[in-house]
């Protein structure tokens, strides 16, 4: 009897232009960096890469926070890392939910044993400082969690002045910056944010796999004052930080080549200059908006809180959502996102994140969509 081996074909993905809610297009130099030889996770070379990553992440987060690093895992691992380290069972956490990712944060918090108070807004709307002030004054939570850039709806949440009301109530401010980091200002120190997490596959234009996080000294003090062990071994910052910080104690085997990729992606961000990068994202958002409006397509989010990197637009009457998205993909190699939750079937989400945010992509997309809508 012979054993038959079936050999699969090698990986040869189609060429796409990633104009959805992430991942975004990746620069060739980032992919090249990821193909560099793997060294050990305690190799002096890799330790230097880690130090440089921390330094670059601080610049990107506009912070001097010592505890700033890249958690192994995607954006959701960053979310869990923040929640699980700041919350002990029975602690109260207020979560502001105006989209899928606020809802996910509330779910994570409840799994960690928090007493979750969720304040909600319709998808696409944002929260006012006044309503948050009222809730934290009444509830006196340990942590208030909010999403800066709600990828599911395209809404930008203002964070200015939020920390004052949260701190006045004795709480810590936790912010989801998965989609905002690298595409619009995330000013951790100026806005007094205590903990924030992000992901690599949005405006940083690195494949998914790492979650940049940063914690203020106030957040670190809260973690140091815990009475119970962090319920996740893998995400316990008291151990993870010893590996990234002074003692270099082995915790888990860092995904070496992912970190190479992030190192190169951050170099590209800093080489461009962050202000230039924010302006580029905004300019291409405006160009896309002008083109879509000329075609009679309206944004799903009010003008004053539209995200520059994620454009949620209303699908025109009588148009088949899935058919148009598959035509864009099959005819033009363009990926865009459909709506999530209450916006499913009603909106398209057009990403202009990181490398994808280019004038040429805006023009190609407008021409392609025009063709598909004929
Ligand atoms: N938060 C926001 C705002 C997101 O957009 C995403 C991913 O789309 C996440 C959290 C979760 O990140 P990941 O899918 O990388 O785990």
Q: pLDDT of 233-258, one tens digit each?
A: 999 999 999 999 878 999 999 999 99
Of the candidates 189, 341, 352, 166, the residue with the CA atom closest to the CA atom of residue 277:
352
- State mean pLDDT over 76-89: 98
Binding site listing:
349
pLDDT digits (tens, 9 = 90+) for 275-333: 999 999 999 999 999 999 999 999 999 999 999 999 999 999 999 999 999 999 999 99
Q: Percent of the chain scored above 70 by pLDDT?
A: 99
CB of 155 sitting under 6 A from ligand 1: no
Rounded to an integer, what distance in angstroms lies between the CA atom of residue 347 and that of residue 345? Answer: 6
| Residue 142: pLDDT band with limits 50, 70, 90 | very high
- State mean pLDDT over 160-185: 98
Rounded to an integer, what distance in angstroms lies between the CA atom of residue 216 and that of residue 267? Answer: 24
Question: Is residue 84 within 8 Å of residue 240, measured between CB atoms?
Answer: no
Question: Is residue 297 within 8 Å of residue 316, measured between CB atoms?
Answer: yes
CB of 291 sitting under 6 A from ligand 1: no
CB of 73 sitting under 6 A from ligand 1: no
CB of 269 sitting under 6 A from ligand 1: no
Does position 75 have pLDDT exceeding 90, yes or no?
Answer: yes
Q: Closest ligand 1 atom to the C-alpha of 211?
A: 15
- State mean pLDDT over 342-370: 97
Rounded to an integer, what distance in angstroms lies between the CA atom of residue 152 and that of residue 338? Answer: 9
Interface predicted TM-score (ipTM) = 0.99
Q: In what order do the strands lie in the sheet with 347-351?
A: 310-314, 347-351, 337-338
The secondary structure of residue 342, as a DSSP letter, is: G
pLDDT digits (tens, 9 = 90+) for 186-203: 999 999 999 999 999 999
Pocket residue to mutate for ligand 1, from 24, 76, 354, most atoms within 8 A of Cβ: 76
| Residue 2: pLDDT band with limits 50, 70, 90 | low
C-alpha 252 – ligand 1 centre gap (Å): 23
CB of 179 sitting under 6 A from ligand 1: yes
Rounded to an integer, what distance in angstroms lies between the CA atom of residue 326 and that of residue 245? Answer: 47
pTM of the model: 0.97
| Residue 10: pLDDT band with limits 50, 70, 90 | very high
Q: Closest ligand 1 atom to the C-alpha of 150?
A: 3
DSSP string of 175-214, one letter each residue: EE-TTTBTTB---TTTTT-SEEE--SSSTT-S-S-EEEEE
Does position 342 have pLDDT exceeding 90, yes or no?
Answer: no
CB of 157 sitting under 6 A from ligand 1: no
Residues 153-176 as b/e (b if ≥16 CB within 10 A, e otherwise) read bbbbbebeebbebbbebebbbbbb
C-alpha 7 – ligand 1 centre gap (Å): 35
Tokens 């709506």 appear where?
339
CB of 354 sitting under 6 A from ligand 1: no
Q: Closest ligand 1 atom to the C-alpha of 99?
A: 3
């Amino acid at each position: 009897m012979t054993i038959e081996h079936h050999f699969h074909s090698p990986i040869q993905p189609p060429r796409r232009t990633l104009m959805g809610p992430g991942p975004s297009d990746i620069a060739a130099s980032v992919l090249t960096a990821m193909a560099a030889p793997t060294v050990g996770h305690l190799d002096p070379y890799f330790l230097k890469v880690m130090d440089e990553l921390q330094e670059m992440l601080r610049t990107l987060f506009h912070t001097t926070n010592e505890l700033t690093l890249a958690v192994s895992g995607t954006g959701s691992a960053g979310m869990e890392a923040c929640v699980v380290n700041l919350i002990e069972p029975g602690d109260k956490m207020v979560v502001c939910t105006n989209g899928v990712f606020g809802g996910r944060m509330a779910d994570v918090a409840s799994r960690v044993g928090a007493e979750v108070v969720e304040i909600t807004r319709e998808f696409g709307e944002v929260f006012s400082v006044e309503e948050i002030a009222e809730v934290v004054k009444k509830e006196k939570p340990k942590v208030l969690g909010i999403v800066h850039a709600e990828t599911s709806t395209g809404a930008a949440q203002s964070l200015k002045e939020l920390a004052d009301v949260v701190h006045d109530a004795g709480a810590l401010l936790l912010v989801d910056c998965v989609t905002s980091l690298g595409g619009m200002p995330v000013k951790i120190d100026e806005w007094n944010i205590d903990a924030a997490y992000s992901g690599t596959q949005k405006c940083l234009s690195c494949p998914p796999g790492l979650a940049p996080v940063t914690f203020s000294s106030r957040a670190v003090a809260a973690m140091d004052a815990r009475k119970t062990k962090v319920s996740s071994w893998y995400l316990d910052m008291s151990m993870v930080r010893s590996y990234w910080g002074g003692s270099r104690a082995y915790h888990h085997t860092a995904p070496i080549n992912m970190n190479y990729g992030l190192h190169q992606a951050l170099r590209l961000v800093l080489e461009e200059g962050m202000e230039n990068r924010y302006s580029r994202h905004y300019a291409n958002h405006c160009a896309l908006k002008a083109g879509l409006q000329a075609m009679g397509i309206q944004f799903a989010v009010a003008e004053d809180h539209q995200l520059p990197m994620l454009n949620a637009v209303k699908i025109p009457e009588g148009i088949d959502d899935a058919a148009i998205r598959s035509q864009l993909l099959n005819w033009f190699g363009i990926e865009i996102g459909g709506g999530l939750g209450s916006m499913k079937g009603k909106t398209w989400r057009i990403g202009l994140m990181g490398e994808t945010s280019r004038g040429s992509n805006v023009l190609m997309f407008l021409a392609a969509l025009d063709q598909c809508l004929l």
